[in-house]
Chains A and B, each alone.
Chain A
Amino acid sequence: DTEVTQTPKHLVMGMTNKKSLKCEQHMGHRAMYWYKQKAKKPPELMFVYSYEKLSINESVPSRFSPECPNSSLLNLHLHALQPEDSALYLCASSQEHPFPYEQYFGPGTRLTVT
């Protein structure tokens, strides 16, 4: 059973919409991550938060805007997305960052941009 939860499970949005993805972890971890995964490809890192501060942005377009309201919550705000942004968006957490602890993934939000 995952201790990282994500909502919604599925999201369909138009290119002019604004939506948010939510992630919550219940393990007391201090590092949280957003990944994007396309079909038959490995996850690609987007953002890293450590102690609620953004520490890594992997050159992600500004139409993706992360937010970390507290150490348990992570949001990803979406605006003016393109069809090629359709993917599985995975949230993960780990004990600390930047130490190389294992990461635990949430079930993901499957996003379709029309």
Chain B
Amino acid sequence: RKEVEQDPGPFNVPEGATVAFNCTYSNSASQSFFWYRQDCRKEPKLLMSVYSSGNEDGRFTAQLNRASQYISLLIRDSKLSDSATYLCVVTLDDYKLSFGAGTTVTVRA
């Protein structure tokens, strides 16, 4: 089983729609969780950290479900600029980040 698994998508949604996707992780001892976005041929950029209580940043909402070992990302009112690959990142132990393979989102006009 992979350490971090994501639905690769692609999720094709119209502008203004809501899109949500999950990421599951295998190590129950994982402590830190992040969502990064990566545009084609660019570096990953931190979108948000994911806290136990969940957190929201504008149109983006992240949730953590420790019991079921998954995190989620919801994007409301999608913009064309939200088109990207979203990487789920989980700490395996004290030092190593484990990246999911990414979920591709395409927002169409």
Contacts and interface: CB of A to CB of B under 8 A. Distances in A.
Nearest to B44: A105
A41 B94 CA distance: 23
A100 B92 CA distance: 9
A103 B43 contact: no
A45 B43 contact: no
Interface string A27-60: 0000000000000011101001000000110000
A97 interface: yes
The B interface, classified by DSSP as helix, strand, loop or mixed, is: loop
A98 B46 CA distance: 19
A66 interface: no
A102 B101 contact: no
Contacts of B101: 41-42
Given A43-B99, A48-B95, A56-B96, 8 more contacts: A2-B43, A45-B97, A56-B95, A88-B41, A98-B95, A100-B95, A103-B97, A108-B42
Interface of A: 2, 41-43, 45, 48, 55-56, 88, 90, 97-108, 110
Interface of B: 31-32, 34, 41-46, 49, 87, 91, 94-97, 99-102
5 contacts: A42-B102, A98-B94, A102-B32, A103-B97, A107-B43
